[in-house]
């Protein structure tokens, strides 16, 4: 769980170092998470260049990708894995995919998300990470890449790098046997970076009369959001491994390769 001080990528972290049973830890330098990559520039950012990223998994919607396309390192490959495609098709796009629009109008935001409704909406979105067809397809594709020994150092991201990306990190770390408190700590560790990245947006929202609590509920992550997805896994499958095998359709052999690659 190491923050990486990149200058062209927000909220960049290495999952390496996350504690595992028997004194082990996730291997460093293999699996990274971040926010969007529209400003990524290895030529101007030696920290990013040193990571040697070879595979990028983008969890964003088509609209997000078109608005801010990824910049891919030379020789890298890009996998599109739209977690929220089902929501887009149904016209129910959640706030996780339109943070700037949500906080642009405090009156509208308060009417739609105030009074605890933001927390309820995020919990419902997280349950959808487990239950929806597009999310299952996206996370299956992601885990298949993580299991591939030829994928090289892999970076996965969404827009802010907190929700869709946070669930992806939770799946991997839980499969590797990381204790729940370590998984939750890694999930929550993005809050300072996300709030810094969106600070101007939050300040403008509050200056226009928006409720700071609503803004933080939209911009940050809290244990209750993660618990909603974990409870959905328990209710539908009983264990994370059954969710991955039965729900996502990832072979047991792929899970074993993930262990071999990442468990130090």
Percent of the chain clearing pLDDT 90 (strictly above)? 75
Separation of CA 246 from chain center: 22
Mean pLDDT of the chain: 92
Give me the mean pLDDT over the 108-130 stretch.
Answer: 87
Give me the mean pLDDT over the 3-14 stretch.
Answer: 95
Long-range CB pairs of 226-234, under 8 A, 24+ apart, other chains included: 226/126, 226/166, 226/167, 226/170, 226/184, 226/187, 228/122, 228/123, 228/124, 228/126, 228/127, 229/126, 229/127, 229/129, 229/130, 229/167, 229/170, 230/170, 231/127, 232/126, 232/127, 232/130, 232/131, 233/130
CA contacts within 13 A on the Cβ side of 193: 24
pLDDT in tens, 15-42: 999 999 999 999 999 999 999 999 999 9
Q: What is the pLDDT of residue 191?
A: 94
Number of residues in the chain: 264
The residue segments making up the domain with residue 131 are 2-262
Sequence-ordered strand ranges (E) for 17-141: 31-34, 55-58, 77-80
Do the bridges between strand 55-58 and strand 31-34 make them parallel or antiparallel, or are there none, so unpaired? unpaired
Task: Categorize the per-residue pLDDT at 165 as very low, low, confident or very high, splitting at 50, 70 and 90.
Answer: very high
Percent of the chain clearing pLDDT 70 (strictly above)? 96
- Element of type H or E holding 191: helix 191-197
DSSP at 97: G
- pLDDT surpasses 70 at 96: no
pLDDT in tens, 193-208: 988 888 888 888 889 8
- pLDDT surpasses 70 at 243: yes
Give me the mean pLDDT over the 141-146 stretch.
Answer: 98
Task: Categorize the per-residue pLDDT at 215 as very low, low, confident or very high, splitting at 50, 70 and 90.
Answer: confident
Residue 246 makes CB contacts below 8 A (sequence gap 6+) with 237
Structural domains of the chain, count: 1
Are 170 and 33 in contact by the 8 Å Cβ rule? The answer is no
DSSP at 92: -
pTM for this predicted structure: 0.93
Return d(Cα 82, Cα 71) in angstroms, integer: 17
Of 22-31, 90-99, 110-119, 199-208, which range is least confident?
Answer: 90-99
- pLDDT surpasses 60 at 239: yes
CATH label of the domain that carries residue 224? 3.90.190.10
């Amino acid at each position: 769980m190491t923050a990486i001080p990149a200058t062209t990528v927000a909220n960049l972290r290495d999952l390496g170092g996350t504690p595992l049973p028997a004194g082990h830890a996730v291997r460093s330098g293999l699996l990274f998470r971040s926010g969007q990559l529209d400003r990524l520039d290895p030529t101007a950012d030696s920290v990013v260049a040193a990571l040697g990223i070879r595979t990028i998994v983008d969890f964003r919607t088509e609209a997000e990708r078109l608005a801010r396309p990824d910049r891919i390192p030379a020789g890298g490959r890009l996998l599109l894995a739209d977690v929220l495609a089902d929501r887009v098709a149904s016209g129910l796009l959640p706030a996780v995919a339109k943070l700037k629009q949500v906080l642009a109008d405090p009156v509208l935001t308060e009417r739609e998300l105030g009074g605890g409704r933001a927390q309820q909406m995020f919990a419902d979105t997280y349950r959808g990470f487990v239950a929806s067809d597009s999310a299952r397809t996206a996370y299956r594709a992601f885990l298949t890449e993580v299991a591939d020994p030829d994928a090289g150092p892999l970076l996965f991201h969404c827009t802010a790098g907190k929700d869709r990306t946070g669930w992806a990190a939770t799946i991997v770390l839980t499969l590797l046997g990381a204790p729940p408190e370590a998984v939750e700590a890694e999930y929550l560790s993005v809050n300072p970076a996300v709030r810094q990245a969106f600070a101007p947006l939050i300040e403008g929202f509050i200056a226009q009369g928006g409720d700071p609590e609503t803004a933080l509920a939209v911009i940050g992550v809290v244990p209750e959001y993660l618990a909603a997805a974990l409870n959905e896994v328990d209710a539908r499958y009983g264990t994370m491994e059954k969710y991955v095998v039965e729900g996502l359709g990832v072979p047991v052999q792929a899970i074993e390769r993930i262990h071999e690659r990442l468990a130090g």
